[in-house]
Chain A
Amino acid sequence: MVSIDLDGAAVDFPIFDAKTRSLKKAVLGRAGGRIGTDSKVPIIEALRDITVSLRQGDRVALVGHNGAGKSTLLRLMSGIYEPTRGRSSVVGKVAPVFDLAVGMDPEISGLENILIRGLFLGMTRKQMEARVDDIAAFTELGSYLKMPLRTYSTGMRVRLALGVVTSIDPEILLLDEGIGAVDAEFLAKARTRLNELVERSGILVFASHSDEFLADLCDTAIWMDQGTIREHGPLRDVLRHYKGRDVLAEIEAAR
């Protein structure tokens, strides 16, 4: 049974500048007494008072303006950040897809990158070896897969990363926007695979500015605003309040 439970969770980032992030201050400061009032490290409250419970089958869209805390919330759910206040409990194998470039090594071949990326996403070596042919076919990179990754164009790298990511079997899938930079024909193909991936996964949380994508994949939504949850409910309602118009109806009408 997969689940995500956040209870009053907050994420505070300490901001160390060059001075505070050194021993000098800690050591000298203690000996010399208070100098100035900046003895405390400044903090950015990226998330506060986040209470949310997700269960098997939930397909959640994350919407909100830039800097509203969407990505931080995803990273909190993935376990990268543990809440500085409140509690978080995540049960299930998490596959975070945040930055497609991370964990990719430009000096090694595409095939080796497929393996490493898969291992990082919690797959075993055997599972990845079984999927290599499928990924190779999907990416259409052919013999390029034996070349070092640094020879790839941006689009080719995205293909590779998408190929790996969509081949796994996650229990909790966390998707951050930034899946782009591929040609339209390939995108259509990626979409089918993405849909299949979402069907395989227990919980999906998807942060994106593309309403069409969200309409395809999600049925509920969380509206993030200044680090808090402003609204959590059915996708249609949340999007209507967020955008000020019925976006889903427009999309349906356009089809």
Chain B
Amino acid sequence: MTTGDDRAEDATSAPKVVPDAPGPRSWQRAFDDLGQGWRQRPLWGYLGWQDIKQRYRRSVLGPLWISITMAVVATAMGILYGALFGQDIRTFLPYVATGLLIWYFINGCILEGSEVFIANEGLIRFLPAPLSLHVYRLVWRQTLFFMHNLVVWAILAAIFRPPLGWSLLLAIPALMLLVINGAWISVVTGIIATRFRDIPPIIASLANLLFFVTPIVWQYDTLLKNPAVAERARIAELNPVLHFVEILREPLLGEPIVWRHWAVVGVITVAGCIAALVCLRNYRSRVAYWV
């Protein structure tokens, strides 16, 4: 056909200049993705709220159910395990509730993180948007859940009066660290899980296991004080989630701050963010093909 001639004709208006755009696999594009997603705060902010309202649409109490569920579980577990381990309920109940509060956030980020792109398949395939948008939305939603659950902590703190001090302010950077880690783990597991669909069930079963090896319904301190198991109890520190729980729980309960946990969390945060950037750089442009 007349392909050649017509194409030449078409190019009359402008000489063919392809601007020096960075290729699909470049650091520039990875950072652009994060930046553009961040600038779309109104969108993911709205969507995150919508997700929560949606879940409780048409229920009378609405999102208040989040707090109620948390209160019921924390109270039941606090009383049960407090009795089993012979703990004072006045300290053990806030301990369990605070642990659960933090665990729910971590668990939510891990579980939903691996499905973050799979769940948004329709949006990814039909609307151009930075990948990070879906991650921001997820972490924001989990943060909102956290804020609802925080009400339970506040009530328990008012009743049982843990020795809160200025260290409470450390809860803010601790929460920020948790949020950052929630974001990188969503990026990394989300991208890998989009390619390999066996990852989400693997992660779901691991998350179940993590709950039991993390000191939430049991106390790490009491094990350390027991000379019979103190040596073995140290193994618990190999669980990275323990450190995340500790950095936020210590300020929230007015316990002495153990900086070792902060150091571990810091190292994990840096390593995780690097991993997320590498994944974004190498596979960001592939996600639309994989979903």
A-side residues, CB < 8 A to B, are: 3, 5, 7, 13-14, 16, 21-24, 26, 53, 55, 58, 75, 78-84, 87-89, 91, 94, 96, 98-99, 102-103, 105, 107-108, 112, 115-116, 119-121, 124-125, 220, 229-234, 237-238, 241
In the bound complex, CA of A16 to CA of B286 (Å) = 13
Is there a chain A Cβ closer than 8 Å to B124's Cβ? Answer: yes
In the bound complex, CA of A194 to CA of B2 (Å) = 32
Least distance between B10 CB and chain A CB atoms (Å): 5
Is there a chain A Cβ closer than 8 Å to B62's Cβ? Answer: no
From the candidates B3, B11, B47, name the one contacting A53 in the complex (CB within 8 A). Answer: B11
Please classify the interface of chain A as helix (H, G, I), strand (E, B), loop, or mixed, using the class held by over half of its residues.
mixed
Given A23-B196, A231-B2, A237-B6, CB of A78 within 8 Å of CB of B19: no
Instruction: State whether A55 touches B14 (Cβ < 8 A).
Output: yes
Contacts of B3 in A (CB 8 A): 229-232
State which of B38-46, B89-97, B175-183, B263-271 sits at the interface with chain A: B38-46
In the bound complex, CA of A99 to CA of B124 (Å) = 12
Q: How many residues of B contact A (CB 8 A)?
A: 44
Is there a chain A Cβ closer than 8 Å to B289's Cβ? Answer: yes
From the candidates A5, A24, A231, A232, name the one contacting B198 in the complex (CB within 8 A). Answer: A24
Contacts of A53 in B (CB 8 A): 10-11, 14, 16
Contacts of B11 in A (CB 8 A): 53
From the candidates A103, A108, A112, A119, name the one contacting B42 in the complex (CB within 8 A). Answer: A119
Please classify the interface of chain B as helix (H, G, I), strand (E, B), loop, or mixed, using the class held by over half of its residues.
helix
Q: A102-B123, A232-B3, A241-B2 are in contact. List 12 more A-B contacts (CB 8 A).
A: A22-B196, A22-B198, A53-B10, A80-B125, A87-B21, A89-B19, A105-B50, A115-B46, A231-B6, A232-B7, A232-B10, A233-B10
In the complex formed, the residue of A with least CB distance to B58 is A107
Q: Mark B6-33, 1 if CB is under 8 A from A, else 0.
A: 1101110110111101011000000000
Is there a chain A Cβ closer than 8 Å to B281's Cβ? Answer: no
Least distance between B63 CB and chain A CB atoms (Å): 15
Instruction: State whether B47 touches A116 (Cβ < 8 A).
Output: yes
From the candidates A5, A99, A124, A230, name the one contacting B16 in the complex (CB within 8 A). Answer: A5
In the complex formed, the residue of B with least CB distance to A12 is B289
In the complex formed, the residue of A with least CB distance to B285 is A82
Is there a chain A Cβ closer than 8 Å to B197's Cβ? Answer: yes
Is there a chain A Cβ closer than 8 Å to B166's Cβ? Answer: no
Is there a chain A Cβ closer than 8 Å to B199's Cβ? Answer: yes
In the bound complex, CA of A137 to CA of B63 (Å) = 34
Q: Mark B119-135, 1 if CB is under 8 A from A, else 0.
A: 00011111111000000
Instruction: State whether B127 touches A120 (Cβ < 8 A).
Output: yes
In the bound complex, CA of A108 to CA of B23 (Å) = 39
Instruction: State whether B13 touches A55 (Cβ < 8 A).
Output: yes
In the bound complex, CA of A21 to CA of B124 (Å) = 19
Q: Mark B52-92, 1 if CB is under 8 A from A, else 0.
A: 00100100000000000000000000000000000000000
